[in-house]
Amino acid sequence: MKIGDDLIRGVFTRYKTIAVYGISRSPEKAAHHVPAFLLSKDYNIIPVNPNADEILGQKCYSNLMTVPERIDIVEVFRPSAETLDVVRESLLRKEERGDIEVIWLQEGIRNEEARKLAEEAGITFVQDRCMYKEYIRLFRE
């Protein structure tokens, strides 16, 4: 699937709940400041980090299956090699709960096998793009 500006803009306007897989407690890391930015833009941020109880004032969950609320987007801050497992967990959750419309791998993260699996399941898949940079670029503030 071609990932163009219209598709990216639609993701930002249509979906508001983002599970951030691999969110960081360290403010200097992109895995912290990108979700903090999205939180400031009225997105519902759900931290997924098994090593923390709370990040950005939000309760942390150890995995996607333990998140009680609906998830629209899974934003992934994990090494490329680990993204296939994240996608498999996302597909399992989609099968059980019917949510997860988008999987977004942050800038520098790519996995073609994960992309193929997600797209075969009808999930929009974005890889190697920064949500912060794309938001700023498309919604010039």
CB 39 within 8 A of CB 45: yes
pLDDT single digits (tens) 57-76? 999 999 999 999 999 999 99
pLDDT tens digits, residue range 99-114?
999 999 999 999 999 9
Q: Is residue 74 part of a domain?
A: no
The answer to the question of residue 125 being in a domain is: yes
| Confidence band for 141, pLDDT divided at 50, 70 and 90 | low
- CB 74, CB 11: distance < 8 Å: no
Angstrom distance (rounded) from CA 19 to CA 75: 6
Residue 41 lies in a domain: yes
DSSP the chain: ----HHHHHHHHHH--EEEEET--S-TTSHHHHHHHHHHHTT-EEEEE-TT-SEETTEE-BSSGGG--S--SEEEE-S-GGGHHHHHHHHHHHHHHHS---EEEEPTT---HHHHHHHHHTT-EEE-S--HHHHHHHHS--
What residues form DSSP beta bridges with 124?
Answer: 102
Q: Is the pLDDT of residue 140 over 90?
A: no
Question: How many domains, the chain?
Answer: 1
Residues spanned by the domain of 58: 5-67+80-138
- 97 inside domain: yes
> At residue 2, does pLDDT exceed 80?
no
- 73 located within any domain: no
- Phi and psi at 116, nearest 5°, equal -60, -45
Mean pLDDT over the full length of the chain = 96
The pLDDT of 21-27, averaged and rounded, is 96
**Average pLDDT value for residue range 5-15:** 96
**pTM: predicted TM-score of the whole model, two decimal places:** 0.96
CA distance 85 to 57: 27
Q: What CATH number did the domain enclosing 117 receive?
A: 3.40.50.720
Residue 4's contacts (CB-CB under 8 Å, 6 or more residues apart) are none
- pLDDT given for residue 49 in this prediction: 96
